[in-house]
């Protein structure tokens, strides 16, 4: 049977060799004759998994001294709360950039902690661009933004310049390109796009930025709690961390984050070139703000969608239906998606245009 080309927006496609090793470890982990799902998280074998995962995050992203890496639960949605608890001061204020569904939710979560100033928003055009030329108030305790927007297909290609702590939700593009970690006080990212399966969230934390809010933080939402306990304050999501570790080993083996960036740019260029030159399709996002992770596009004539969908299904192309708030199509091109899958989609688009031209 031919391969399924998996363009799902998340959970993500994972490398075949990662899936094979992960599945074997469900049956017999580290030759213990025990499943990784059933051994103690306090055992040396699992402590080694978490420790290596934290170390690989630092290595792959060139995390400088003064930062800690922890793996927690709750996804980015819990990260919205943890950001406000750990960085917004009592009677303080924070600046946010609103570029879509997840940044909107982050803003809503922060409103219960102090004044939230939305310094830029693309909501006026259904989040089809990244706001530019923004001024961050000097009084802001931090600036928060979402680097890549899976639903609408936009992505920041420049880091906002700020004088306050910078915080970023990188759930859908971490490890997809090189980043300058030293520019941030906090980066957090759910695993389920480029790093592993759903269930764990990585936090990259500048230690000197913590402990300054003068507010009482619930122990489970205090980043210092989890740093002190090295991701082990409570039972961690062991399997998700383990598969993330295997994925990071794979990234390193492929040439690291720089190589992931090169491949992802090549995939994005291939697909966007077809979108721009195929008379039946058009992109939904401003050219300069297009995401290399999630390409969103539509048919000029939506009455043709059923026939195009069938051609995609026949070619075993899966997961390209657009989000309900946007419609059309969304092709998610995370690290493990090979360029051959993008070429398969492009070939169907070309064939469809020839058939209808």
- pLDDT single digits (tens) 233-252: 999 999 999 999 999 999 99
By the 8 A CB rule, do 336 and 176 touch? no
- pLDDT single digits (tens) 240-297: 999 999 999 999 999 999 999 999 999 999 999 999 999 999 999 999 999 999 999 9
Q: Where in the chain is the domain with CATH 3.90.1150.10?
A: 256-356
Percent of the chain past pLDDT 90, that is, above it, reads 97
What's the pLDDT at 94? 98
Q: Where in the chain is the domain with CATH 3.40.640.10?
A: 16-254
Cα separation values, 260 from 79, 272, 321, Å: 25, 18, 25
Whole-angstrom Cα distance, residue 162 to residue 138?
9
The single residue of 169, 173, 222, 289 carrying the catalytic annotation is 169
Cα separation values, 224 from 7, 92, 126, 184, Å: 37, 20, 37, 17
How long, in residues, is the chain? 357
Cα separation values, 188 from 137, 218, 280, Å: 23, 19, 38
33 flagged as catalytic = no
Residue with tokens 């406000």: 84
Whole-angstrom Cα distance, residue 349 to residue 347?
5
Tokens of 140: 């802001």
Strands, E assignment, 217-303: 281-283, 294-299
- pLDDT single digits (tens) 119-141: 999 999 999 999 999 999 999 99
By the 8 A CB rule, do 260 and 254 touch? yes
Residue with tokens 């979402």: 146
Whole-angstrom Cα distance, residue 66 to residue 204?
10
- pLDDT single digits (tens) 72-95: 999 999 999 999 999 999 999 999
Confidence of residue 325 (pLDDT cuts 50, 70, 90): confident
What's the pLDDT at 77? 96
Per CATH, which fold does 256-356 belong to? 3.90.1150
Confidence of residue 357 (pLDDT cuts 50, 70, 90): confident
Tokens of 82: 């943890």
What's the pLDDT at 162? 94
Residue with tokens 């390193």: 252
Closest CA to 157 of 241, 296, 261, 257: 261
What's the pLDDT at 2? 56
- pLDDT single digits (tens) 158-211: 999 999 999 999 999 999 999 999 999 999 999 999 999 999 999 999 999 999
Q: Mean pLDDT in the chain?
A: 96
Whole-angstrom Cα distance, residue 54 to residue 203?
10
Is 90 exceeded by the pLDDT of residue 343? yes
253 flagged as catalytic = no
- Identify any residues that bridge with 187 across adjacent strands, giving them in sequence order: 168, 204
Is 60 exceeded by the pLDDT of residue 1? no
The single residue of 68, 193, 267, 298 carrying the catalytic annotation is 193
Contacting residues for 119 by C-beta, under 8 A, at least 6 apart: 95, 96, 97, 134, 135, 136, 137, 143
Confidence of residue 10 (pLDDT cuts 50, 70, 90): confident
Per CATH, which fold does 16-254 belong to? 3.40.640
Which value, in Å, is the radius of gyration of the alpha carbons in the chain? 21
Arithmetic mean of pLDDT, 337-342:
98
Looking only at the bridges linking them, the beta strands covering 317-318 and 93-98 are unpaired
**pTM for this prediction:** 0.96
193 flagged as catalytic = yes
By the 8 A CB rule, do 138 and 115 touch? no
The single residue of 68, 102, 173, 206 carrying the catalytic annotation is 102
């Amino acid at each position: 049977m031919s391969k399924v080309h998996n363009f799902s927006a998340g959970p993500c496609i994972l490398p075949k060799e990662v899936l094979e090793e992960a599945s074997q470890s469900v049956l017999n982990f580290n030759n213990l004759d025990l499943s990784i799902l059933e051994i103690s998280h306090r055992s040396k074998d699992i402590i080694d998994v978490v420790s290596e995962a934290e170390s690989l995050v630092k290595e792959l992203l060139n995390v400088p001294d003064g930062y800690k890496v922890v793996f927690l639960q709750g996804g980015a949605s819990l990260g919205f709360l943890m950001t406000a608890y750990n960085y917004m001061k009592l009677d303080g204020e924070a600046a946010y950039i609103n570029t879509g569904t997840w940044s909107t939710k982050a803003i809503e979560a922060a409103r219960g902690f102090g004044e939230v100033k939305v310094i830029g928003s693309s909501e006026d055009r259904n989040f089809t661009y990244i706001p530019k030329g923004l001024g961050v108030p000097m009084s802001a305790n931090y600036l928060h933004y979402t680097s890549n927007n899976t639903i609408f297909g936009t992505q920041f290609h420049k880091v906002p310049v700020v004088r306050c702590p910078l915080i970023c939700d990188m759930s859908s593009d971490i490890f997809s390109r090189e980043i300058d970690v030293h520019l941030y006080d906090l980066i957090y990212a759910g695993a389920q796009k480029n790093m592993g399966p759903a269930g764990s969230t990585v936090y990259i934390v500048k230690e000197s930025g913590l402990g300054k809010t003068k507010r009482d933080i619930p122990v489970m939402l205090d980043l210092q709690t989890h740093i002190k306990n090295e991701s082990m304050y409570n039972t961690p999501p062991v399997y998700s961390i383990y598969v993330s570790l295997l994925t990071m080993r794979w990234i390193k083996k492929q040439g690291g984050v720089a190589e992931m960036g090169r491949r992802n740019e090549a995939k994005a260029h291939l697909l966007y070139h077809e979108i721009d030159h195929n008379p039946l399709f058009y992109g939904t996002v401003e050219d300069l703000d297009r995401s290399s992770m999630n390409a969103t596009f539509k048919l000029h004539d939506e009455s043709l969608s059923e026939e195009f969908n069938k051609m995609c299904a026949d070619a075993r192309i899966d997961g390209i239906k657009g989000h309900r708030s946007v419609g059309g199509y969304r092709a998610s091109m995370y690290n493990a998606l090979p360029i051959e899958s993008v070429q398969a989609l492009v070939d169907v688009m070309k064939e469809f245009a020839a058939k209808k031209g």
